[in-house]
Amino acid sequence: MSLGKREGTPTRSKYGGLYGCVLLALAIVSPNAWACTISPSVSAAFGSVNSFVIESSPQNTSAQPSAGAVCQGALLGLAVTSNQRIRATLNSTNQGRLVNIENNDAIPYRIFALASQNEQMFLGTAYNYFNPVLIDLLGLIGGQNINIPMEFRTLPTTNVAAGMYTDTLTINWNWRICDIGLLGICLARTGTGTTTINLSIMVTPDCAIQAPDLDFGSAPLVAGFDTVSRTIDITCTKGSDYSVGLSDGQHAAGNVRRMEGGGQYLNYQLYKGTTGNSRWGNGGSERRASSTADTNPGTPSGSSQGFTYRAEILPGQSTPPAGTYTDMIIVDVAF
C-alpha cells in the first residue's frame, strides 16, 4: 500500500535525521511609516520696520511654512522617547546677525524652536525637537504630519542705517523616530537633510522732532519785545540726509509771519541761527540741510542734531491792541 505524505510531517533523510521549515515573522513597514521631508530652502521675513522701532522694540517672525522639515510623528509612546530625535544643527553666514552689505551695519537676533516656550537654539549646537517641552505641543506622538517650526527675534540695537538686512542659516537635520514593530519593538526611521533659511528685514528711515514752544513774553509796545532764540532738535536714521523747513504759520501775509488776537495782528519773523537775517522757511534755499546743523552738523549718525533760530517781533509796525497773540508753525523734515 502506498503512503501519502502529510503536510507538516517531517521527512526523514537517508541518514536518519529530520529536516523542517522555520517560519520567519517579518515586520512589514507601511508606505506611511515615519519620515521627514526636507525643503532645500525656505524664507523668514520681518517685513519693513523703521529704524527707531528696531532700536527700541524686539521684532518677531517665523520660518514659513516650516523650518524646512515636515515630519510624521512617532507611533510609539513616551517610554522610548530617549532613543528618538529630530535634531537641527544651525550655522549662520553672519554669526547670528542680520547685515546690511552696503555699510556693514548689523542687527543681532536670537533663534527659537518655540519662542513662547523660551526654547532657544544656539549656533553650532544640536537642538532636539523631540523633547519633553515640545512633544505634546507639536504633536510628535501619534503619527500625524508636523511642520517643524523655527522662530526669530531681533535684539535692541543702536540706530542703524536704512536698507535691507539679511542672513543665511544652514540647518543640518538628523532624525531617528520609532514605528511599531513586532511585539512593540522600535523600527527606527532615520535620515538626514539640509535646509537653508533666508532671513531678512527692511529698515526704513524715520526722524524724531523736538520743537519747544516759543514765547515772546509781554510788553506794552512793539519796541519792548526782546529777540528770542530757540533750538529744534532732530534725530534721524543713521546715514539719511534730510532738510528742515518751517511753515509761514496760519496768518502770514506774503513772506511776513503774523500772530493773531481778536482779529488784530502782530508781525514777526524767524531767522536761521542766532545772527543775520536769513529767513527760515519751508521752500528752496530757505530750508536747512542736516549738514548745516548748529549741533552735530553733517550726515546723521543717529545722534540728535540741533538747529537754532532767532525769533523777532518786527519793528516799524504799529502796536496793536492789548491781548494775547498766537500762531502755529509746522516743522517739516524731508528725507
- Residue 69 backbone phi and psi in degrees, to 5: -130, 125
Least confident of 139-143, 279-283, 316-320: 139-143
For the stretch 250-309, pLDDT in tens is: 999 999 999 999 999 999 999 999 999 999 999 999 999 999 999 999 999 989 999 999
| Mean pLDDT, residues 108-127 taken together | 98
How far apart CA 285 and CA 245 sit, in angstroms, is 10
What per-residue confidence (pLDDT) applies to 73? 75
**Global confidence as pTM:** 0.81
Cα distances (angstroms) measured from residue 293 to each of 171, 227, 248, 288: 48, 21, 21, 8
How far apart CA 307 and CA 297 sit, in angstroms, is 9
Question: Do the Cβ atoms of 288 and 327 come closer than 8 Å?
Answer: no
Note the Cα 186 to chain centre separation in Å: 42
What per-residue confidence (pLDDT) applies to 75? 66
Question: Do the Cβ atoms of 221 and 319 come closer than 8 Å?
Answer: yes
Note the Cα 124 to chain centre separation in Å: 22
CB atoms within 10 A of CB 309: 24
What per-residue confidence (pLDDT) applies to 180? 66
What per-residue confidence (pLDDT) applies to 183? 62
Burial class (CB in 10 A: 0-12, 13-18, 19+), 252: middle
218-225: list long-range contacts, CB under 8 Å, 24+ apart. Answer: 220/319, 221/319, 222/266, 222/313, 222/314, 222/315, 222/317, 222/318, 222/319, 223/315, 225/313
For the stretch 220-245, pLDDT in tens is: 999 999 999 999 999 999 999 999 99
For the stretch 181-213, pLDDT in tens is: 656 677 788 999 999 999 999 999 999 999 999
More confident residue, 95 or 8: 95
Peptide bond connecting 10 to the previous residue in cis, omega within 30 degrees of 0: no
Question: Do the Cβ atoms of 214 and 228 come closer than 8 Å?
Answer: yes
What per-residue confidence (pLDDT) applies to 139? 85
